[in-house]
Structure 1
Amino acid sequence: MATHQHPNPSDDVALHVGRRIRQLREARGLSLSALAARAGVGKGLLSELEAGRRNPTLASLYALAGPLRVPLADLLGDVPGSVVDGEGARSRLLDVRTEVDGTTVEVYTLEHDAGVSRRSPAHAPGVVEHLVTTRGRFRVVRHAPDGDEVHDAPVGQHVAWTSDVPHSYAAGPDGATAVLVITTPRA
């Protein structure tokens, strides 16, 4: 009996994301070294991502989205259902749309294992994030130059912040799930 091997969906995501990163990098006239330096990632990592030989993590995608000046959904190809999974944190793109005024609205589910914290680099000016916790508890910290702004978000709690500075999300001791909405004004 012959068996049919199904392609690994994470391989498809890795190849698609890699092509998209290269396309955006080249469109901006950036060398591999220049983008790696701006994103604070290794040149080898970036090369492997672009070639689709390495699965992207949330941390690496957020690091690259900032210097490329695109919403995270642009790197995922605006494909609802795309998942980025790694280091105890998972994010699934539920929807992305561009409003009449050019604002991009991205909707994700965000799930962190118990005690997992993820730090995100600063996004472009005017980017606002909204988080509603649906399970467990998140602590969101906006790392502003004049001091940290800390927001606890238990189940049902809404937290919003301008994410033009580094910020982090930490799950409580039982893990946490949330809906995350990111609005990015037209550049």
Structure 2
Amino acid sequence: MRRAAAERTPESEVRPDLVGARMRQFRKERGLTLRGLAAQSGLSIGFLSQVERGVSSIGLTALNGVATALDRPVAEFFNGDGASPEGATEAELPHHFTLTRGDNGANQYVSGQQTYRMLSDRGPGLVLEPMMVHIAPGGRREEAYGHAGEEFAYVVRGELLYEVDGVEHRLHPGDSVHLRSNVPHRMYNDTDELTTVVSVVTPRLF
């Protein structure tokens, strides 16, 4: 089953350790210590150090807090050249909806054991961030983290441990969780199979 997890991440995609390397680069460019970044992002010094060294992965919502502290778009942590994700600009999009086809080649971002596939194009004024998240087995647990907004997760395949405010809940296919994101939370795949989740968060991350 680990072979299946590897198949979903071809060599053409971003390296899983790129996020940590970019975090270290941006932090040093701003003249911040790990202690300073921890104070501004709400994450611990130890966890940030592990992410920078490629020992731990970081979820998109926690990464959004780091990006805000470093005054960088989230996309720049995944793109080696700092370019924005491909897609239509706001001027080209209608103000009331977007339409995303399954064969459009949606943007994907890899962070450690997790691959995030964006499920909608950008749209001015839209606040939901819908994603398909593939979580490979193993890896280190992320640090529990609270942030502004709401979060919804629906398990499509596999099993997921979803911890909310220190309490673990095991989710199976068809199960879902919906919470205010200011409550510390984290998710983890402790099985030997790939887990697939549809996740919707606010605010938008890209």
Q: How many angstroms does 1:43 deviate by? A: 9.9
Deviations 1:134-161 (A, max 9, x none): 2232232211xxxx56544211222222
1:19, CA displacement in angstroms? Answer: 3.5
User: Of the candidates 92, 108, 117, which is equivalent to residue 115 of structure 2?
Assistant: 92
| Aligned match of 2:147 | 124
- Structure 1 residue 167: Cα displacement: 1.0
Matched, 1:157 2:160: no
The whole-number CA distance in structure 2 between the counterparts of 1:68 and 1:121 is 17
Unmatched segments (≥5 aa) in structure 2: 1-10, 80-84, 87-106
Normalising by the residue count of structure 2, what TM-score does the alignment of the two structures yield?
0.55
Structure 1 residues 41 and 136: alpha-carbon distance in aligned structure 2, compared to 1, 3 A threshold: same
Distance in 2, matches of 1:172 and 1:12, equals 23
Shift, 1:83, TM fit: 1.8
Q: Secondary structure at the match of 2:22?
A: helix
8 Å contact kept, 1:133–1:156: yes
Alignment equivalent of 1:110, drawn from 124, 134, 140: 134
Identity %: 20
Greater strand content: 1
Alignment equivalent of 2:37, drawn from 35, 51, 65: 35
CA RMSD of aligned residues (A): 4.3
**Match runs of 1:15-26 below 5 Å:** 15=18, 18-19=21-22, 22-23=25-26, 25=27
How many Å separate the matches in 2 of 1:108 and 1:131? Answer: 10
User: 2:47 touches 2:143 (CA, 8 Å); kept in 1?
Assistant: no
- Which residue of the partner structure matches residue 184 of structure 1? 202
